[in-house]
Chains A and B, each alone.
Chain A
Amino acid sequence: MIVAERKTIPELIDILQGHKNVLVLGCGTCVTVCLAGGEREVSIIASALRIASRTQNLDFKVSELTIERQCDNIFIEQAAEAIDKSDAVLSLGCGAGVQAIAERYPRKPVYAGLNTKFLGILEERGIWTEKCAACGACVLHEYGGICPVTRCAKHMLNGPCGGSKEDRCEVNPDRPCAWQLIYQRLKSIGQLQKLEQVTMPKNWGPSLSGGPRTIIRDDHRI
């Protein structure tokens, strides 16, 4: 899922300067699961903004709404009335959600209330970790399901860098060395021989370096 984190209230106040009627719009998908932009967080952030508005005499009204998915036009429609009534939207969706709303409402200022961080998983309650860099050409099958592109600080594709100490990453000792994990995993599934193959330099063409990417599925188009 997409993992995001809220901006601070002073940051939001700064972003919303000059608006008098703000809609805090939540998203019921990824950011709900990572506890950053779901219905509950909308309620909390809207409440904090109303408190800030009153303590700092900012005089703006804050309304709240959460839709199922901000990155989908079908669901965005459900917010039409609330968006029309407000003079700015503070989206608590991921970066894609914010842009989807902004594209749908060209004359309405739409701001991001979250910092979209990464594609990750819930490691344990309250802890999310990055697992995928969306590089566009997945190599997980070669590394026992552990991604060296995301989880190795140096994106090494042919073994560890030599700086890891006692299975810890050289760049951040709080993290395990991804290559240690890859080795253990390949050993436990009996595929250690995969490490004997030299991996050629990765093709970064399908990654973000070529600008925003598009997928077209003719079989699904109408």
Chain B
Amino acid sequence: MSSAKKETTIVAFCCIYCAYAAADLAGSMRLQYPSNIRILRTPCTGRLEVEYFMKAFEDGADGVIVAGCEEGSCHFKEGNLVAKRRVNYAKKLLAEAGLESDRLRMVNVSAASARKLVDYLKEMAATIEKLGPSPLHTVKQLARQESKS
């Protein structure tokens, strides 16, 4: 059994019109963000349903960050506002289920805000490091380790 510290995974749902472009720009600018961030491109954060966040945690994510356009500048007018309400609902559900609601967060960035996005991603990584690996993941890992031994 390895005693090495478990690498956490943070899923970042990034809107193609802003945060995904900002992440791309961060690369061009040689800005570094934590290596445990897994970026997923979405057509708009308004496309994300509550179950996407729930499934991400169920399938082993330690944190989920939703990055949409700045309020008032959504390409589809109010997709990011819809996403905000869904994220808030999912946070409530996660808390009811016994998972820290801080593991899920929504942020707003523009396509030009590479530095701001990187700061948010670093903040999220720090939050997850403080909270530790998801208890779901730990149970899963333990079960796997037990079945191996």
CB distance from B40 to the nearest CB of A (A): 18
Q: Which residues of A contact B (CB under 8 A)?
A: 8-10, 40, 43-44, 47-52, 54-57
Contact for A44 among B50, B135, B136, B140, CB less than 8 A: B50
CB distance from B90 to the nearest CB of A (A): 8
**With A9-B96, A55-B136 as contacts: A40 and B54 at CB distance below 8 Å:** no
A-facing residues in B61-87 (Cβ within 8 Å): none
Inter-chain contact B54/A51, CB cutoff 8 Å: yes
Inter-chain contact A10/B49, CB cutoff 8 Å: no
Inter-chain contact B54/A44, CB cutoff 8 Å: yes
A56 CA / B95 CA spacing, docked (Å): 12
Q: Which residues of B contact A (CB under 8 A)?
A: 49-51, 54-55, 57-58, 93-94, 96-99, 135-136, 139-140
**With A51-B99, A55-B99 as contacts: A43 and B139 at CB distance below 8 Å:** no
Q: Nearest chain-B residue to A8 (Cβ)?
A: B96
Closest 6 CB pairs between A and B? A55-B98, A47-B54, A9-B96, A52-B97, A51-B97, A48-B97
A57 CA / B136 CA spacing, docked (Å): 10
Q: Nearest chain-B residue to A53 (Cβ)?
A: B97
CB distance from A154 to the nearest CB of B (A): 35
CB distance from B61 to the nearest CB of A (A): 11
Inter-chain contact A49/B97, CB cutoff 8 Å: yes
Say whether chain A's binding surface is mostly helix, strand, loop, or mixed: helix
Chain A residues with CB below 8 A from B55, complex form: 47
Inter-chain contact B96/A54, CB cutoff 8 Å: no
* Residue of A40, A43, A44 ringed by the most chain B CB atoms within 10 A: A44
Chain A residues with CB below 8 A from B96, complex form: 8-10, 48, 52
Chain A residues with CB below 8 A from B98, complex form: 51-52, 55-56
**With A44-B54, A51-B57, A51-B58 as contacts: A57 and B139 at CB distance below 8 Å:** yes
A55 CA / B55 CA spacing, docked (Å): 15
Chain B residues with CB below 8 A from A52, complex form: 96-98
A54 CA / B50 CA spacing, docked (Å): 19
Chain B residues with CB below 8 A from A49, complex form: 97
Q: Nearest chain-B residue to A45 (Cβ)?
A: B93
CB distance from B58 to the nearest CB of A (A): 6
A–B Cβ pairs within 8 angstroms, 11 of them: A9-B97, A40-B51, A47-B51, A47-B54, A47-B58, A48-B54, A48-B93, A51-B58, A51-B99, A55-B98, A55-B135
Inter-chain contact B51/A51, CB cutoff 8 Å: no
Contact for A54 among B49, B54, B140, CB less than 8 A: B140
CB distance from B43 to the nearest CB of A (A): 19
Inter-chain contact B139/A54, CB cutoff 8 Å: yes
A51 CA / B64 CA spacing, docked (Å): 15
Inter-chain contact A44/B97, CB cutoff 8 Å: no
A9 CA / B98 CA spacing, docked (Å): 9
A24 CA / B66 CA spacing, docked (Å): 28
Chain B residues with CB below 8 A from A57, complex form: 139
Chain A residues with CB below 8 A from B93, complex form: 9, 44, 48
Inter-chain contact B58/A50, CB cutoff 8 Å: yes
CB distance from A114 to the nearest CB of B (A): 15
* Residue of A8, A43, A55, A57 ringed by the most chain B CB atoms within 10 A: A55
A44 CA / B136 CA spacing, docked (Å): 16
